[in-house]
Amino acid sequence: MKYYYQIEGLKRNNLGDVIQGLAAKQFLPNDAIAVDRENLKAIENEQGLLIANGWYQHEFENFPPPPLVTPFYISVHIAKSDFLKLKNVREHFKKNAPIGCRDLKTLWLMRGFGIPAYYSSCLTLTLNNNIISNNNNNEIIWVDNIDHPIPLEVEEKLNELIPNGFIKISHDPLSILFDFNSYVIDNIKSAENLFAKYQNAKLVLTTKIHCALPCIGMGVPVILIHPNPSDPRLSVLNKLISIVSYDELLILNYLPKPHVNKIKAKNLKNRLIKLVSLAVKTNKNPFSDTQNFILSIQFSFYKTLAFLTSNGLKLVYKIGFNKKTFERIFGKEFLVG
């Protein structure tokens, strides 16, 4: 049996994709293999388990993984519904359901396409860097990257609100010119070094989801600063920590205190750990274990919700309500099928 975790090997423009892979790697044996999420078909077709979390997907033709590799989909984010419009993709997800969704938009899309799914939150909540915290460290860290850099006026406002200054850290990966294996090894080391810095910080300010989530998991005070707090991707965060919009920040007279819903974060983290640990122990989706009464009941519930959601959407479409929107998201072929 081989074990796999996935990291994006195509764009390489955000260390967050490496961090999501690292979150899966921690549950797997030491000889677990990193694979390119954009080329899952290239995995050898032999018995294996893939912890399949993260962002899906730039290119569709190299998906899904081969038949003998069992994927456990958890903390999945679907960027474009076009991915799910493909019948082979939907059938693959149904075969490996229920799908753990990182955010509510993805959950709605999955169920809308008739795929049993549940809200799992993000696996990066489970990251825990065992660094002894330096209580005398008063550093405030600002984490951004070239992918979506903050406007100049926002950075100037941060300088005004933090008169003693802050340390600016990049969330960019190392050189994108490495071969895939070298890229993975070097950037996992880079991510682990960042975790050490975060855990010893007084406060972390960031625009990056996969900086904020590990900080929550490690108990580090963190505030997410984002141009659009209503962005569907942020549903994984908006009930856990403070999110400040650019516009809100620009009118503040002082930096707000970070707030973390510790009880909710702990509950989400513990469930993620339980599910992934069971998947690795049994080499399959734990919801498919008929001997686990609670998970079997939950799976039946998710199937029912997917059936009702999908057929409800098709019925509303046939009635004629908001047809263009439904066709854009789900495709006419699926809606009339």
Q: What is the pLDDT, as a whole number, of residue 316?
A: 94
Report pLDDT for 117.
98
Give 164-225 as a DSSP string.
T--EEEE---S-TTS-HHHHHHHHHHHHHHHHHHHHT-SEEEES-HHHHHHHHHHT--EEEE
What Å distances lie between residue 312 and 55, 86, 305, 321, 330, CA to CA? 27, 20, 10, 12, 13
Among 28-32, 241-245, 270-274, the least confident range: 241-245
Q: What is the pLDDT of residues 95-123, one digit of tens each?
A: 999 999 999 999 999 999 999 999 999 99
Q: Which amino acid is at 327?
A: E
Write out the H or E segment, with its range, that includes residue 299: helix 293-319
Whole-angstrom Cα distance, residue 51 to residue 278?
Answer: 12
- What are the tens digits of pLDDT across the range 282-312? 999 999 998 899 999 999 999 999 999 999 9
Number of Cβ within 10 Å of residue 150's Cβ equals 18
Question: Which letter, b or e, does each residue of 38-74 get, where b requires 16 or more Cβ atoms within 10 Å of its Cβ?
Answer: bbbeebeeeebbbbbbbbbbeebebbbbeeebbbbbb
Token pair of 37 as six digits: 């999420």
pLDDT above 90 for 68: yes
Geometric angle at alpha carbon 274, from 14 and 306, rounded to 5°: 80
Token match 């993260």: residue? 54
High-pLDDT (> 70) share of the chain, %: 96
> Residues 57-77: what's their mean pLDDT?
96
* Residue 22: HSE in the Cβ half-sphere, 13 Å Cα cutoff: 26
pLDDT, tens digit, 9 for 90 and up, residues 127-149: 986 655 555 577 999 998 766 77
Tokens matching residue 169: 């850290």
User: Among candidates 130, 101, 98, which has minimal Cα distance to 268?
Assistant: 101
**How is the beta sheet containing 48-56 ordered, strand by strand?**
33-36, 2-7, 48-56, 69-78, 99-101, 117-119
Is the pTM above the cut of 0.85? Answer: yes
DSSP letter for each residue of 48-92: EEEEEEEEE-S-STT-S--TTEEEEEEEEEES-THHHHSHHHHHH
